[in-house]
Amino acid sequence: MVDGRRTQVIQPLHFPESPVETLTVTIRGRVQGVGFRVATVRQAHALQVCGWVRNQPDGSVQALLQGTPDALDRLLSWFHIGPPGAQVHSVEHQQLATGRLFERFEVN
């Protein structure tokens, strides 16, 4: 309380204690039409990872991820399993150097 009034402290969604890394990821297999993008958004929000996810014309799913190394490792591990109905054959990722900081995670 401040001067008898309640105050609310709002924490930023993305407040890493570790350096922020950026990855591009391609997931191949049966990953379209199974809710992979929506499930990825949920996982990313839970892990405080920012970026985007989208379907590719070749049937793969592509994502750009930004977060702490631990959060990214956990999301990469989840990509190997995916949501119910997905059959993941491969997950390829590459680290990117970028000056841009994303503020949220969304379907692109």
Q: At what angle do helices 36-47 and 69-79 cross, to 10 degrees?
A: 160
Catalytic residues: 37, 55
Cα dist from 92 to 22, 29, 30, 79, whole Å: 14, 12, 15, 10
